[in-house]
Amino acid sequence: MMKNTELLSQNLRLINYFYTRNLSRELSSLKVNHHFEVLLTLAKQKKPITQNQLAELLHIDKSRVAHIIFSMEENEVVMVKTNPADRRQHLISLSPNALKSIPYIEKKVKEVNEMANTGISEEKLSVFVEVAEAMMQNLTKKK
């Protein structure tokens, strides 16, 4: 049982660290610098999206997204094109090679998820997800 004085974020950060480390190890052959979530988010899009839209989808700072996209573009994982309708915007999409790697990434995510969930009943996993979602809603409510 967690004491009221313990930081919840510390436990969540450790889970994230070990989860990401395992996933990075599984996907070390890809040149994506741990940005699997960015790839999977872009793969779900029906058309190229702006950096601002990507930042909103990932819940991260726009400047961080710009840095990630720059790095991914250098590694030829994403393509960035100027929006002809608004030349200030850059439209981001996956490169053909990155698109080909999405099924492999999804397979490895599934394997790491199964590893993380080992020995935990479906009922407990369902409660964990429900509690995590409730906490996010509580923490994002405007006061």
3-state secondary structure of 49: strand
- Whole domain around residue 20: which residue ranges? 9-103
| Domain presence at residue 59 | yes
Looking up residue 16, the CATH number of its domain turns out to be: 1.10.10.10
Lowest-confidence pick of 108-112, 124-128, 138-142: 138-142
pLDDT digits (tens, 9 = 90+) for 10-68: 989 999 999 999 999 999 888 776 788 999 999 999 999 999 999 999 999 999 999 99
- How many domains in the chain? 1
pLDDT digits (tens, 9 = 90+) for 76-87: 899 999 988 888
| Domain presence at residue 140 | no
| Domain presence at residue 43 | yes
Give the dihedral sign, CA 109/111/114/118: negative
**d(C-alpha 85, C-alpha 143), whole Å:** 38
CA 34 to chain centre: 9
* Residue whose C-alpha is closest to residue 26's, from 16, 34, 14: 34
**Over the Cα atoms of the chain, what is R_g?**
18
